[in-house]
Structures are given as structure tokens and as C-alpha cells.
Structure 1
């Protein structure tokens, strides 16, 4: 959204069409001609006390703004007018098609933010016609206080004022309206029922043309479509809740609380989970309130010729769902409403990271191949910033050579380190240096930042002591020490393998990591979140890997649906030169096949969920992938020799069936089941065909690599069933720490087995390509759905 001064000759016809539209009758220019509008705009632009601006959304003219000095207007004689007031008028263009939900509110916010950007402005004044109830409601929602009716030459106006503080407070909660919350509640409750049923915690029963779920206090009825891998897609609009025979509002927190004994949530942790549910609902309402780019717009951007960094960040900030499996996936407990607006990925707000100096004797810096401490700081900070940091230390009588420089999240410094590490600051073991010069954007993982000022510089991942999705999002200095070495080793394996090179599969190395250990928590306490408050790492930027005509996209975007329900992956396939089957095959050859190869050739497993992979696209087609977050989420499950400094990643998993879950659970169940369902739901590609293609990709790899025949036999990725590893069960069991990060395998929870869609006769039998396949014709529940809802796993 941009706002620019009116160009009378360029914009007069556009404004004329707006002000003469029947919906703009309160502007009292219904009979104005083009010359009248041109004369009016010319008079405004020539005035020393009146200005006009054109607002654009994604470059399209969308709204008109006028600002004026009330002291030089018909309001001048009113006793309420004060020094520091600025008058404002806003006209949003009448929509040519369906109205865009939230657009007017977002325009109001943008215009008010521009008004208050001038420090001389203390209040914004508006005087809408008293009959214009719609605009008056928008004004109040934006923070205006209605003072009184005042007679003006052409109308009776409602004089209203907005103080700067009132605007800021209103902006923190203006998205929380009954209509948005009702929509968010339905979406989250539908997702909860679907995912809990997938994990066999619930067992809905057929009810006429739909389904019924009963809790101790409520009855829920809904329609749903069931896909392979026991994947349920509920229609949120169909969800009905009754209590004692009376229909009541759908409430996700009530649903969770009613089911808490069945879900296995400990009484002591239920409030934490309910708080994460509330935060997830608030995030959903915020996204509904702000106009988001449509899937068609995002697809066009990915196929366009714009700046790859801007397109990548536009996409990163447009995601709306969070992790597809977890119900409470936007917890962020610890953030206030103002922190959310400043730091949540979906706000795309610019962030300048804070920097601290940590005394070398109680800190660590580890660097990878080709990196030194000096080269890291020079490349990431620049000599001017480094000189400023050194001067700060010298002014305190400290030797800069005795310190390391570590970036920290602004919230982490203000809300945690400056208080919890107060003794460390007083001892000068920890010295605040101020903000860096570059602007960053928070990524989907919330504590990882992309450098928007200099996109070629590294990602920065910081410790962040908020509770989110079953973990405190800190970083362990001890755990970080080996991170560069692990990344170097993995990168060497990947880059020396001919199969992986051919597929273009690569990793974004975490080339440096730093952490502070001089605090009391490291000296006196056992392992825990307090030892993960101050650490950071630097990861290679994907912009350094983009070739001509290539674009980047988080793989999570393939599961994105916009506010109208349109899927980005559908828009991409429609716009690409490939048919749906070939598009999917190309994508799976870039994503699935390299992961299968790593597992069979090296017993090497990644955590390949949507946020951990970056797709490289050409003409809207994913042609290769870049893996990230390697240091914390990679494992070698066999006896492959490892350097001593890398030995941490070895996982003792003797059973090849469990090892194969790196593909069966993390890829098939954790990501592809959602993608297959979206393509099937949208009529793009039947899910049977999707899984047949996936099976062909796995089989083609086996044929191409006879030297891995024994490994392929042991892993048997085409086996009929695999163990059903459940994610929500982990979070429900312990909302504070889902798994022990040092021994993740032993923390897993299972619920029987799932049918492997690659082995299913329904999608791998004699049916030829393109033959009809109807997953809805398969009758009632599978035996697995009859498992008791109280089954503990």
C-alpha cells in the first residue's frame, strides 16, 4: 500500500469516477463533471493548508486522501480545535467486483499512520455526515472519539478526534470483531476435529449425510471429505454445535476443554494449551482483517520479472495457516499485542536487530569452512557499524578485543535479557550495543530473520523466549557449538553425491553460531529454557543460489489458501507450462527423490516440513529445493563414520521401519497428504494419481541405483503400512516441551498404523493414468478409526 501526492492531470479522471459513483454520495459530488473535479484538485494542490493524495494497493489506484489544517477550514471557529490537529478525508474506491474484506479498515490504518508519522500532529480530526453510519463505525474502530454534532455549510457533521495513543491502542485489537472471530473459531475447530481424528483421538460417527461428534457437553455435526492417510477435510461452514438441544456458537477453546480428558491434556497444562489456542485465534482474526494478496496475485508474482527477494518476502509474509498438523500453531505466549504487530511474520514489519557484546571468557563463537570471526562481522555488519560498536565499548573503559558481538531479537533484549540478565549487564559481561543498520523481516519460523536491506547477507536466527507450538523458542549455546561443523559435514555429503547434484538438491549452511554462558542459569541450574536465552546463528541466504529466471518460495506456500479459499498451488499449476501430473512429478523429483536417496545411501534424515525447505521455481514449477535448519534437525541413523565434532547427530534407531518414518511420517503424512488433498479438492489431480506418481518417483530411484538395492529392501518405502506417529499427541501431552531435543526418537507417540498410499491398490493397481478414481466411494471408517478415543498411544 502506497500513498503519493495527487497528479491532477493523471488522476482527475480516476477520482471523478470515484466521487460520482452512487456509493460516494456523501462526498456531495454526484453531479460534478470532469472539469469540476480537475478544478477542485487543482485548488487543493495549490493550497498551503490542504493536500490531496492517491493511494495504491499493489500498484492499483484504490483510495483518495485529503488532509487539511482545521484552523484554515470551516472548523476554525470551533472551540474543540487545537494546535497540532490535522484534518482528514478518505474515500475508498467503489469496488468493481466483490468488496475486499478488511480493505477499508486497512486503508484507514495506513492513512492514520501516515498522519501520525509527522511528530507535529497530535490529533487527527474528521467530520463525517452524521447520517454516514458506516464511516462513523470505521472511525470509532480506528480510535476516534465522537465529540458532538456540528452544523457545517453543506451537512451536519459528527466532529470526531483521534489521539495518537488512542490510534495505537485501537490498532492492537481492531481485528477482534465478532464476525472475524466467528470465522476463525469455525476454521480452527474444524481443523482440530480433523487433525485429532487423524491421530485417532476422536472417532466421529456417520450422521445422515454428514458426521457427528459428541463430547460430554456438546454435539457437533458437520460434513467432511475423507482422503487417503485418514486425512479429514471438514467444511467449517457446516459445523454446528448444540448444547442441551440449543444451537450455540462454535468455540475452539470450549471444544478443547470438553475433550481434554480424551485428548490426554494434563490438568496443570490445560491453561497453557488454551492460551495457545486463543493466540492462534487472535492471529487468524488479524489475518482476516488485513487484505492479503490473492493466490492468483502471488502466483503471478512468482512467474513475473520482479525482484526475487521482494517476491520471496511477499510470499513469506502472506502465509496464513502456520504448521498444517498442529492445532495450536500460533501460540507465541509472551508477546503482547504491540509485539505481535512488530514481530509476527504475517505483519511483514521491518525489524532492526539489537546487538550485544558478550565477554569472550564466558561465550563461544563457532564458524564453518571458509569463515573467520573477522570475515563474518565485516560481511554482516560492515566497518561503520563495527566501529560504532567498538567506540561504545571503549567509552565504557572496555577492550573491544575481549568481546564477541551477538545479535538478539528486540523483544528478547527488552523483555528478557535487560531484566533477567541484569547482573550480567552490570558486570559488563554483557553490553548492549544498540540496533544494527539493516532492516530484517521475520520468517515463518518467527525467530529467523531475512535481511531485507541486503538480501545477500545471511539469515539470522535468534533466541526467543516465547512459548510457541510446544516449545520455548530459545537457542542453546552448548547445542550451537557444533552447528557449523554439522552443516559443513552435511553440505560435503550432499555436494559430493552425483544423484543429489543432478537434482540440484542443496543445503543452506549455518556458517556461524555464537552463545553466552556466563549467566547464573548456566552456573547453577540443570538443562532448561533459561540456558537458551542468548545465542544466535547465521545461515546462508537463498538469494545467493538464484539463477536467471528463478524465483524462491517457502514450500509451506504449496499448502496456502487465500481468504477466498483459492489455493496457491492450483494457481501455480494453472499458470505453469506443465500439466498437473508432470508438475507434481517434477516437484517430487526435486523434493521426495533426494530425501529418499539421503536415507538409503547414508541413513541421513532431515526434518523436511514446509517451512524447512525453500523451493526454487522456474515458470512456476519447483525444479530444485534448498534445505535449511540443518544443525538442529538432521540425524544419521546408521553406522556411517562421523567426525567427532559431528557425532551429536547420530541417532540410535536400529529398526529400519522406524527409520523409514523419516519419509513415511515426515514427508507423506506430514506434508504430502495435505498437498494431495488440496489438488484433489480443487479438481486439479485426483489423489490416487498423486500417490501413484509419488510411488513411481520412489521406484524410479530404486531402478536407477542398483547399488542401493539392499538398503531399499531394508527400508521398504512401499510397504503396505507404517507406524502412525502423531504430532498433536506430543503437544497435548506436554505443552511446554513436546520432545527431548537430544533424544527425539524416544519421545515419539504412535497410534497404530496407517495404510501406505504408495502401496495401496487403489492408486497403484492396474488403473491407467488419468482413469477415474473416487476416494469418496470407499464406505465407512477404517478399523483404525474405531480405536477408543481414550487410547493413550
Structure 2
């Protein structure tokens, strides 16, 4: 199949040049932030003119606005190339990557793989550009799960839609922005091969009765009986069709041959993939669980599998997080924070890779499932959920999604942002300061619950991957069991602070500040001042935690700079190691909040 119709609709010269220019501006901004590029300042005014010399005969010139946190807002339409005395617009992100390869010190192997990821990203960007007809005024009325398909990917990582492993047919079928509903496949897995865990009070049967109809259960059990096995000795579990065809059949062929894994058929419910690609929201019944499945594709630094030890421990981590919530009146009654828990999980280890010491981590993450409570089951009358990532969206005409929310809310931009910070920061700070426990509140994990288009409540998800604890001897952490301690990352004070500082401030809020400033909604200086005021406001409510305010200090002049692009491009490359890569540490970032550290 040539896909000629799709190609002709999406890939034309003007659109290709547009998405390339946008990506080059992002590459310049983020590589400058991560100190991989150091262009020369040519002239300074409201916009600073820069030149980047890449060879004796070739120079990139562009305009950028300097932002707080050592960041840059590069203007895409200003980027030009001067080569052999001739000047032209910069219109190829791949050409730019090759030009800067020697400056950054990328190996040919890394550069080659990165070209592949950038081409995948550009193709996806072209699709998104072609299907960007809905305005921000229209999008603010759209549903949570559907809205996820209108997002454009990680704001910081430049190769954010690499999805290595997908063919073009897979892209059209499974990419979130394609918004194609899917039916999950179901298989039977013998109890000797699978491990099941759930929160206290639930069990396997209650889970399956919640997720499948009586008719579906009977059909699947009948298929097991037809295979001459006892259905009571098998777990029913969903798998993604791509994973089934590309990993499970081949890698678990022996288990299929001996009847330990038996294919059963498709479930009836329709699901929409979310930005993470591997998490699915039920469209047939929104109260059913969100389903997180492994997909052995490489995207934004890691293979998108499910680590076996984390899959198994997920329900216990949910009990830990919800246990804090249940006994804390500030979280439960004042913040009314929403915590959609990972309430059940199934994991199937590969019997041979499991015996291989230091096997690449992707081979320990191929077959499993996590069931997470639906965000819809928590929403009250008049509430609407959006991921925090939606606040960074701008429509084809350049109007920010957040501007439309503000206009419909009846609040001033200043008041809307103040309410946003109050809703988001209070529960995050309380978990950190009071309990030495932190989430990674980036744009996908953090859900803003709106009411009348106003910030109303916070929801946080994905506990097993992104909850971390303090290495300090806090009384609140003494009750943690050994199995939880082995899986949850224990971090020193700055390391724990970084999950909010980098995960929220750097990875999300610095982009939001630029959008609001560019559209004259809230000045950048006022934005960060409001954030500092919110943190101080929390601290005034809980003076007994003063020693911990100093321990987890958001007002230090500098913090370690964590880098996401440098990780792939310089430090880690495309090595297939036994551990998932973590963000690189390189230098320091100037903290814009330090100016407000003496506020009383």
C-alpha cells in the first residue's frame, strides 16, 4: 500500500518548510538552554540578534527573546543561513542537525539515529499542522480524552514524536493525534506465568467483572475450554495489537506453543490512546479503568514498556499515596486533590530474559498491564478535566488555549494564574514538605480540574513511575515496607526538589510564562512573582515545617541543570543498557524565584 492519498494531503512543500522552521527554532532554544550551543550575540534590544558559526563558510542568524531560567524564545521566522555570501531562510531541521553535529560532539551513530527520530517527528508535525482547524475557543469545550489527541508532544524534547518501531501504517492507526479508537486484544495467561496484584478490598474477579461484560467473559472462557485448558487457571489480560504482532508472538512463542498464553479475541469497548501512546481511555464506558499497556517502541528517551517490578508494586504505591491523603485534612478537605490510583496490575516475565544478567531493560517490560481509576469517576457536576499540557496549546491562528479559558472564565488573567498556582502548588508542596514524598508533575501526569473554565482542583496520576521519596529520616516515611523502598527512588533534598523544580517549573511553566507574556496576558516577571507568592503562602500556613522549607529550597540562586536533549545527543546516545536513562546533569540553572527568597 502506497498511502498516496495521505501523503498527498499532508506533505506539501509549504507545510514541510513550516514544521521544519518551527522545529529548528525549538532546537536552537533548547540546545542553548542545555549549553550545547553557544551562539554569539550580535545586537541586543527587545529581541537579541545571534549568530551561530557552524563552519568557515556557513552561519545561522536569528532573533530570540531572553527568558528567565536561562531560557530563550527563538523566533522561527527570523532564522536565516548565510553561506558563501548568500542568504536564505533556514528550512531543514536535518540540515541544521548535521551542521551542529561537530559543535555538539555527537557520534555519527547517534546523529544517524537522531535523524530518524527527527524525521518521524517532522512527519507527525505535518499531520498535526494539516488537521489543526479547530480554534482554541472551540477546543476548551472538548472532552479530556479527545483533547489529548490535539496536543503536539513534549515541549522540551526536540525529537518528541520519534516512535521508533512504528511503521507509517502503525502511525496512522495508533498515534494519539490520529484519534483512532481501538479495541484491545485479550489473551489468557496461565497463573504459573503471570503475577496479579491489586489494592486491598479488590480481587481479580471484581476487576474483570468491572472491565468486561458477562458475555465477553463467557466467550473468552469458552475459548480457553476449546483449547483444552481449565479457565480457572488463567488470567484474562488485555494487550495492544501492535505489541502482540511485533513483540509477544515472536518473543513468547514458546509459551504460545505450550498453551501458557492463549489468544482469545478483541474486547468490545472502544479506547482512545493518550499522549503517552500506551495509556488508553475507555470511550464506551468512561467510568471503566484507564488501561496502561507496554509498547516496545522508543519514544522520548525510553522504550515505552512496563517495568516488571514497578508493574507488580503499583497497587501498593497507590495504597501508600492514598493512605497519606485519607489521614490529612488539608489534602482531603481543603485541596480536595484527586488521586486516580493504579489499583490492579498483571505482569508476565519472560522466562529466558529474566535469567539473563544485565539484559537490556526493554526485555523486562514486554508483557503486563496496569489498570488506573478513571478520572471521570472523580469528576463532580460542572467539572471538566484537562491535562496541564493543554495550557501550552496554541491554535493555527496563534491564539492560546489558556487565553480562551481565561476569557470564558470571567476572571482577569492575573486572577486566573493566581488560582492556577494555588490549585496546583498547595497539594504538591504538602506531599513534599509534610511527607517527604514528591510526584513528577509534568504536563501529562498533572490534570487540572476546571469549573466554569476556572482552576478548581488538582489531579495527579502515574504514581508507580513518578513518585519519589526523601532519603531523610522522616517520621512519616518510617512505615514504608522494604518492597516499596526498593522500587521508589530515594533522593537527597535537592534531588527531590528537582522533581517539582524541573518537572513543573522548567518542563512546563517556563513555556506557559512565555505564552502569557507574548500575548500580553501576564508579564513574565509577574508570573514568577505570583508563583513565589503562592509558595510563601503555603509556608505561612504550616510554620511547623520551617526546617523542611530550608531543606527543599525552591529559592536557591542556582540549581543543578537537568537536560533531556543532551542525554540522548551526548551522554547516552542509543545504547541499549540494563537501566532506563535518566536526565543528564550539566551545569547550573539561574533560579528566577531566588529574587523572592526574602519575602515575609
Match among 380, 389, 398 for residue 229 of structure 2? 398
Looking at structure 1, the residues matched to 508 and 462 of structure 2 have their Cα atoms a distance apart, in angstroms, of 17
Q: Which residue of 2 aligns with 1:186?
A: 21
CA distance change for structure 1 residues 726 and 759 in 2, over 3 Å: closer, same or farther?
same
Q: Under a length normalisation based on structure 2, what TM-score does the superposition of the two structures give?
A: 0.93
Looking at structure 1, the residues matched to 287 and 577 of structure 2 have their Cα atoms a distance apart, in angstroms, of 34
Q: Is the 8 A contact 1:172 1:338 kept in 2?
A: no
Match among 144, 162, 165 for residue 334 of structure 1? 165
> Shift of the alpha carbon at 1:499?
2.1
Match among 212, 219, 240 for residue 51 of structure 2? 212
Residue 459 of structure 2 aligns to a residue in which SS?
A: strand
Q: Which residue of 2 aligns with 1:479?
A: 310
Q: Which residue of 1 aligns with 2:331?
A: 500
Q: Which residue of 2 aligns with 1:253?
A: 94
Residue 295 of structure 2 aligns to a residue in which SS?
A: coil
Per-residue CA deviations over 1:482-535 (Å, capped at 9, x if unaligned) read: 111011111111232222221122321001111112443224464421221111
Match among 407, 411, 414 for residue 581 of structure 1? 414
Match among 358, 361, 366 for residue 197 of structure 2? 366
The answer on 1:690 being equivalent to 2:509 is no
Residue 165 of structure 2 aligns to a residue in which SS?
A: coil
Q: Is the 8 A contact 2:60 2:79 kept in 1?
A: yes
Q: Is the 8 A contact 1:355 1:405 kept in 2?
A: yes
The answer on 1:563 being equivalent to 2:563 is no
Looking at structure 2, the residues matched to 765 and 646 of structure 1 have their Cα atoms a distance apart, in angstroms, of 38
Per-residue CA deviations over 1:387-407 (Å, capped at 9, x if unaligned) read: 111111111111111111121
Q: Which residue of 1 aligns with 2:514?
A: 677
> Shift of the alpha carbon at 1:198?
0.9
Q: Which residue of 1 aligns with 2:246?
A: 415
Looking at structure 2, the residues matched to 495 and 204 of structure 1 have their Cα atoms a distance apart, in angstroms, of 52
Looking at structure 2, the residues matched to 645 and 583 of structure 1 have their Cα atoms a distance apart, in angstroms, of 42
> Shift of the alpha carbon at 1:169?
4.5
Looking at structure 2, the residues matched to 691 and 437 of structure 1 have their Cα atoms a distance apart, in angstroms, of 48
CA distance change for structure 1 residues 737 and 524 in 2, over 3 Å: closer, same or farther?
closer
Match among 529, 552, 557 for residue 715 of structure 1? 552
Q: Is the 8 A contact 1:616 1:623 kept in 2?
A: yes
Q: Which residue of 1 aligns with 2:174?
A: 343
Q: Is the 8 A contact 2:252 2:350 kept in 1?
A: no
Q: Is the 8 A contact 2:186 2:238 kept in 1?
A: yes
The answer on 1:313 being equivalent to 2:145 is yes
Residue 377 of structure 2 aligns to a residue in which SS?
A: helix
The answer on 1:546 being equivalent to 2:379 is yes
The answer on 1:488 being equivalent to 2:327 is no
The answer on 1:643 being equivalent to 2:477 is no
Q: Which residue of 2 aligns with 1:266?
A: 107
Looking at structure 1, the residues matched to 170 and 133 of structure 2 have their Cα atoms a distance apart, in angstroms, of 20
Per-residue CA deviations over 1:406-453 (Å, capped at 9, x if unaligned) read: 211111112222223222211111111111110000001110000001
> Shift of the alpha carbon at 1:370?
2.7
User: Number of paired residues?
Assistant: 586
Looking at structure 2, the residues matched to 543 and 264 of structure 1 have their Cα atoms a distance apart, in angstroms, of 47
Q: Is the 8 A contact 1:679 1:687 kept in 2?
A: yes
Q: Which residue of 2 aligns with 1:130?
A: none
Q: Which residue of 2 aligns with 1:234?
A: 74
Q: Is the 8 A contact 2:309 2:487 kept in 1?
A: no
The answer on 1:203 being equivalent to 2:38 is yes
In terms of Rg, which structure is larger? Answer: 1
Looking at structure 2, the residues matched to 751 and 342 of structure 1 have their Cα atoms a distance apart, in angstroms, of 38
CA distance change for structure 1 residues 228 and 764 in 2, over 3 Å: closer, same or farther?
farther
Looking at structure 1, the residues matched to 224 and 578 of structure 2 have their Cα atoms a distance apart, in angstroms, of 39
CA distance change for structure 1 residues 523 and 652 in 2, over 3 Å: closer, same or farther?
closer
The answer on 1:754 being equivalent to 2:589 is yes
Looking at structure 2, the residues matched to 174 and 428 of structure 1 have their Cα atoms a distance apart, in angstroms, of 46
Q: Is the 8 A contact 1:615 1:625 kept in 2?
A: yes
Q: Is the 8 A contact 1:470 1:735 kept in 2?
A: no
> Shift of the alpha carbon at 1:731?
2.3
Per-residue CA deviations over 1:121-162 (Å, capped at 9, x if unaligned) read: xxxxxxxxxxxxxxxxxxxxxxxxxxxxxxxxxxxxxxxxxx
Q: Which residue of 2 aligns with 1:51?
A: none
Looking at structure 2, the residues matched to 564 and 710 of structure 1 have their Cα atoms a distance apart, in angstroms, of 48
CA distance change for structure 1 residues 652 and 456 in 2, over 3 Å: closer, same or farther?
closer
Provide the alpha-carbon RMSD of the alignment.
Answer: 2.1
- Greater shift in the superposed pair: 642-651 or 355-364: 642-651
Match among 386, 405, 410 for residue 572 of structure 1? 405
Q: Which residue of 2 aligns with 1:377?
A: 208
Residue 305 of structure 2 aligns to a residue in which SS?
A: coil
Per-residue CA deviations over 1:222-255 (Å, capped at 9, x if unaligned) read: 1111111122111111111233333455211122
CA distance change for structure 1 residues 436 and 525 in 2, over 3 Å: closer, same or farther?
farther
Looking at structure 2, the residues matched to 741 and 231 of structure 1 have their Cα atoms a distance apart, in angstroms, of 30
Looking at structure 1, the residues matched to 272 and 223 of structure 2 have their Cα atoms a distance apart, in angstroms, of 26
Q: Is the 8 A contact 1:477 1:535 kept in 2?
A: yes
CA distance change for structure 1 residues 764 and 180 in 2, over 3 Å: closer, same or farther?
farther
CA distance change for structure 1 residues 764 and 757 in 2, over 3 Å: closer, same or farther?
farther
Residue 574 of structure 1 aligns to a residue in which SS?
A: helix
Looking at structure 1, the residues matched to 167 and 217 of structure 2 have their Cα atoms a distance apart, in angstroms, of 32
Q: Is the 8 A contact 1:406 1:515 kept in 2?
A: no
Residue 321 of structure 2 aligns to a residue in which SS?
A: helix
Residue 453 of structure 1 aligns to a residue in which SS?
A: coil
Residue 361 of structure 1 aligns to a residue in which SS?
A: coil
CA distance change for structure 1 residues 765 and 606 in 2, over 3 Å: closer, same or farther?
closer
- Aligned ranges 1:615-654 → 2 under 5 Å: 615-638=448-471, 639=473, 640-641=477-478, 642-654=480-492
Q: Under a length normalisation based on structure 1, what TM-score does the superposition of the two structures give?
A: 0.71
Structure 2 segments unaligned to the other structure (5+ residues)? none
CA distance change for structure 1 residues 687 and 328 in 2, over 3 Å: closer, same or farther?
same
Q: Is the 8 A contact 2:536 2:599 kept in 1?
A: no
Q: Is the 8 A contact 2:162 2:299 kept in 1?
A: yes
Per-residue CA deviations over 1:561-604 (Å, capped at 9, x if unaligned) read: 11222110111112212111111111111112221221111111
- Aligned ranges 1:3-82 → 2 under 5 Å: none
Q: Which residue of 1 aligns with 2:260?
A: 429
Looking at structure 2, the residues matched to 415 and 740 of structure 1 have their Cα atoms a distance apart, in angstroms, of 21
> Shift of the alpha carbon at 1:342?
0.8
Looking at structure 2, the residues matched to 569 and 291 of structure 1 have their Cα atoms a distance apart, in angstroms, of 17
Looking at structure 2, the residues matched to 488 and 737 of structure 1 have their Cα atoms a distance apart, in angstroms, of 35
CA distance change for structure 1 residues 433 and 470 in 2, over 3 Å: closer, same or farther?
same
Residue 384 of structure 1 aligns to a residue in which SS?
A: helix
Match among 267, 271, 282 for residue 440 of structure 1? 271
Q: Is the 8 A contact 2:132 2:395 kept in 1?
A: no
Structure 1 segments unaligned to the other structure (5+ residues)? 1-164, 303-310, 767-793
Q: Which residue of 2 aligns with 1:152?
A: none
Looking at structure 1, the residues matched to 243 and 120 of structure 2 have their Cα atoms a distance apart, in angstroms, of 19
> Shift of the alpha carbon at 1:653?
2.9
